[in-house]
Each structure stands twice: as C-alpha cells, then as structure tokens.
C-alpha cells in the first residue's frame, strides 16, 4: 500500500453515493423516523408520567452526538489536520442533528414544569438555596439561554458545512483558511454553550447539587459518542467499497485511537468528579452518588464504570482491534449504547428514586431520537460528496499511514 512508487494501485474513491444507494439510505432513514414517531407516541400515551424524563434522556443523547461531531469538525480545522478530510466531512453530516435538536427541544418546553419542577415550581420560592440561585435559574433566562445555544450550534453547523461543501466543486484555499480562522473562536462558543446547556438541562434537575466539572463530563461523553459514529461510517463506506483512499484502515486506526483516548478521558473526568465529592463528603454533593448507589441504580453505576471505561479500555488498548473493522465496529455500537446509559444515569435517578424502571417510554423516546437523527444525517449525507473532493489536503489524507 506504499505510495512511494508514485502511483496508487488502490481503487479510486467514489465521490458521491450512487443514486440507488442514496435512495435506499433515505428510505431506510424515513422508515426509522416513522418507527420513531409511532414509538414515541406509544411511549407517551402508555406511560405519560415517565415520558418527559425519558424524552430528555434520549434528547440529550442525540444532541451530544451532534455536538461531538461539531467539536470534531472544529478541532480538525484548528489543528489543520490533513489525515482527516473524510472523517471531517462525516462529522459535518452529524452536525445536521443540531438544527433538528432545536425542533426536538420544543416538547421540552411543555415538559419543563415536570422536569425542572424543583426550581420552576411553587417551592422554589420557599427554598433558600434555590431562591439564592433565582437570578440564573428562572424560566425566562432559561429559555433565552436555550435560544442562544441553538443559535450558536445551528450557525456553526450550517456555516461549516456550507463552507466545506464549496470544496466539492472546486479547490479554494481561501475557504480553508477562513474555516481555520473561524474554528478557533468557535471552539470557545462551543465549549461555553455545551457547558451551560449541560448545567441548564441536566444539572438543574437537582438544583441543590452542583459540580464544576459537569460540563467537561458531558463533553467527554459527547465526543466518545460522535467518534463511535465516525468509526461506524468509516467502516461501512470502506466495507461497501465506496472509499478506498481517503478513508482506509489507517484512518480507522486513527479514529480508534481518538476513541480510546476519549474513553480514558471520560473515565478521568468521571473519576475526578466522584473523587472530590467522596473526599469532601458534603451532603449536598454526596446526594448525587447516594441516589445512584441505591439497589437498582447501583447496577447501572457499575455498568458505567465497567462498560464505559474498563471494557473498551482493555479492548482498544492494542493496535490490532483498532484496525479490525468487526471489533472496532462492535466497540463503537457498544459505546453509543453506553453513552445512552450514561445519559439515563444522569437524568432518571432524579425521578425514579428506588431503582431504574426501564420501560416503554424510554424505548419510545430513544426510537424517536434515533429516527430523527438517522433522517437528518441521511439527508445531508446523500446530498453531499463523501469527502470534500477538492480539499487541498486530500492528497495528504490519502498518504496517511500509522508507523
């Protein structure tokens, strides 16, 4: 596979999905969307009490995948990475989730009084701790902030995708330079918006509890999930023979290394949060882990430690599994499941105090998010090239090799 001899013997890359394939992908995604809507309706009508928190769980699961994709795009531009032109395009597809997430947020407005009742409801006025936080935690400011997050996310999602798309038809280095220049300040916007969204939508479910590392924890999970999807896209596009040069086993290996790194990073952040709370032993902080250490939730807590860290760490440690499409694919699917369980573990103990009650509402909400995600990502993927065709770094990406 060496390219030192000057001519590349690998089959050329296909530029776009063949019309037939694109049609199949879109109809499959539409099918998933229909299943999702029906599933969510069933979940809502059969278990209306559990549905709002189930919806929030899966909403955050999907949104963080889009945000992880956005982070991947930004970081490739900031580092001027050459190996990753194809995965970057696939991450741009993932950011199509973000405009959809704004629509998916609307039902949360209806669910808000149930979800965030501790600070939106009556007793907010009698609880001195919550009264003290009223300047930040009040419905008006809450919705204004949500609007700001979505403006940032949708703006970045569309602008970076549109700019990158211009490289599909012709080479234009000024576009690349502009994306690189915009990416750096965008990372600040990204970091702050993700952190505050995590505080607003998840941490404020229990407004007494606080953790300064919470945003980073969500970020780590988001990037893990997005990298998992990128691994799956990489494996699939090679498996069907569409990409043979810009996205190869070498890029899969690189994505696997990043996934491994973020699995470790997630554990590092998760432990840092736990460790300080364990050491300080302050009741209003330890409540978070106490709630998650009752029978039932204890099992889920162990699952996060073992399934979100120990298992993928051991599996991905060596280079061989990272280059093996079956093993890496299995780990990627597993990590997406673990990311959902992590979201479930963050949201649900605030409502189910006596152990997890997994039910139809959870399945329905997850199906809806899967359907919406598949639908918007499929539409963007089939409407664009499989990689930025005339990106000046395409030759560099084709040469990528791991020592």
Stretch that binds other proteins, among 10-18, 23-31, 215-223, 317-325 (CB under 8 A): 317-325
Min separation Cβ 320 and other proteins, Å: 10
From candidates 126, 281, 283, 295, binder to other proteins by CB under 8 A: 281
d(CA 374, CA 68): 16
CB nearer to other proteins: pick between 4 and 126: 4
Burial class of residue 372 (count of CB atoms within 10 Å of its CB; 0-12, 13-18, 19+):
buried
- The structure tokens listed for 76 are 């490739």
d(CA 30, CA 24): 10
From candidates 319, 353, 354, 357, binder to other proteins by CB under 8 A: 319
- The structure tokens listed for 218 are 């969500």
The site that binds other proteins (CB under 8 A) totals a number of residues, namely 17
Min separation Cβ 169 and other proteins, Å: 32
Please report whether residue 188 would count as binding other proteins according to CB under 8 A.
Answer: no
Short-list 306, 320, 185, CA closest to 256: 320
Please report whether residue 9 would count as binding other proteins according to CB under 8 A.
Answer: no
Cα-Cα-Cα-Cα dihedral of 57, 61, 63, 69, to 10°? 170
From candidates 6, 128, 135, 283, binder to other proteins by CB under 8 A: 6
In the chain, the largest separation of any two C-alpha atoms, in whole Å, equals 76
100-139 footprint of other proteins as x/- string (CB under 8 A): ----------------------------------------
Please report whether residue 283 would count as binding other proteins according to CB under 8 A.
Answer: no
- Note whether 70 and 372 are within 8 A (CB): no
Q: Which residues of 44-79 are buried (b: 16+ CB within 10 A; e: fewer)?
A: beebeebbbbbbbbbbbbbbbbbbbbbbbbbbbbbe
Min separation Cβ 403 and other proteins, Å: 6
Please report whether residue 2 would count as binding other proteins according to CB under 8 A.
Answer: yes
Min separation Cβ 4 and other proteins, Å: 4
d(CA 88, CA 94): 10
Stretch that binds other proteins, among 10-18, 61-69, 377-385, 395-403 (CB under 8 A): 395-403
CB nearer to other proteins: pick between 5 and 20: 5
From candidates 45, 141, 278, 302, binder to other proteins by CB under 8 A: 278
Please report whether residue 271 would count as binding other proteins according to CB under 8 A.
Answer: yes
281: left (phi over 0), alpha (psi -120 to 50) or beta: left
Stretch that binds other proteins, among 13-21, 143-151, 274-282, 322-330 (CB under 8 A): 274-282
d(CA 165, CA 388): 7
CB nearer to other proteins: pick between 278 and 302: 278
d(CA 188, CA 167): 25
| Cα angle 275-276-278, degrees, rounded to a multiple of 5 | 65
Stretch that binds other proteins, among 18-26, 31-39, 127-135, 275-283 (CB under 8 A): 275-283
Please report whether residue 403 would count as binding other proteins according to CB under 8 A.
Answer: yes
CB neighbours of 114 closer than 8 A, spacing ≥ 6?
52
Min separation Cβ 299 and other proteins, Å: 19
Min separation Cβ 351 and other proteins, Å: 27
Min separation Cβ 278 and other proteins, Å: 5
- The structure tokens listed for 31 are 């099918």
Q: What H or E segment, with its residue span, contains residue 389?
A: none
Question: Where along the sequence are the contacts to other proteins (CB under 8 A)?
Answer: 1-2, 4-6, 271, 274-275, 278-279, 281, 317-319, 399, 401, 403
């Amino acid at each position: 596979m060496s390219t030192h001899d000057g001519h590349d013997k690998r089959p050329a890359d296909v530029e776009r999905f063949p019309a037939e394939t694109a049609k199949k992908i879109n109809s499959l995604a539409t099918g998933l969307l229909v299943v999702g809507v029906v599933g969510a309706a069933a979940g809502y009508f059969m278990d209306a009490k559990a549905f709002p928190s189930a919806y929030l769980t899966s909403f955050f699961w999907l949104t963080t995948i889009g945000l992880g994709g956005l982070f991947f795009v930004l970081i490739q531009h900031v580092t001027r990475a050459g190996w990753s032109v194809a995965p970057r395009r696939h991450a741009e597809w993932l950011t199509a989730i973000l405009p959809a997430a704004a629509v998916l947020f609307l039902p949360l407005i209806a669910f808000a009084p149930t979800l965030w009742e501790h600070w939106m409801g009556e007793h907010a006025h009698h609880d001195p701790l919550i009264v003290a936080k009223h300047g930040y935690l009040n419905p008006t400011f809450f919705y204004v902030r949500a609007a700001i997050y979505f403006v940032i996310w949708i703006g970045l999602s569309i602008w970076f995708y549109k700019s990158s798309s211009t490289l599909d038809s012709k080479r234009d280095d000024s576009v690349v330079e502009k994306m690189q220049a915009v990416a750096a300040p965008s990372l600040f916007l990204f970091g702050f918006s993700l952190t505050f969204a995590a505080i607003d939508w998840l941490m404020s479910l229990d407004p007494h509890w606080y953790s300064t590392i919470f945003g980073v924890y969500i970020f780590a999970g988001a990037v893990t999930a997005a990298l998992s999807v990128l691994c799956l896209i990489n494996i699939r596009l090679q498996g069907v023979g569409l990409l043979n040069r810009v996205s190869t086993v070498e890029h899969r290996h690189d994505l696997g290394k990043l996934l491994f790194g973020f699995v470790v990073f997630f554990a590092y952040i998760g432990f840092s949060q736990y460790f300080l709370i364990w050491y300080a032993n302050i009741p209003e902080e330890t409540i978070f882990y106490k709630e998650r250490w009752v029978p039932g939730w204890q099992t889920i807590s162990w699952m996060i430690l073992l399934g979100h860290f120990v298992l993928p760490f051991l599996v991905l440690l060596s280079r061989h599994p990272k280059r093996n499409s079956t093993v890496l694919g299995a780990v990627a699917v597993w990590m997406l499941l673990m990311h959902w369980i992590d979201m479930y573990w963050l949201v649900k103990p605030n409502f189910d105090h006596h152990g997890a009650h997994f039910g139809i509402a959870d399945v329905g909400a997850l199906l809806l998010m899967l359907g919406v995600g598949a639908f918007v990502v499929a539409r963007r993927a089939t409407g664009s090239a499989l990689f930025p065709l005339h990106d000046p770094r395409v030759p560099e990406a084709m040469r990528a090799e791991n020592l």
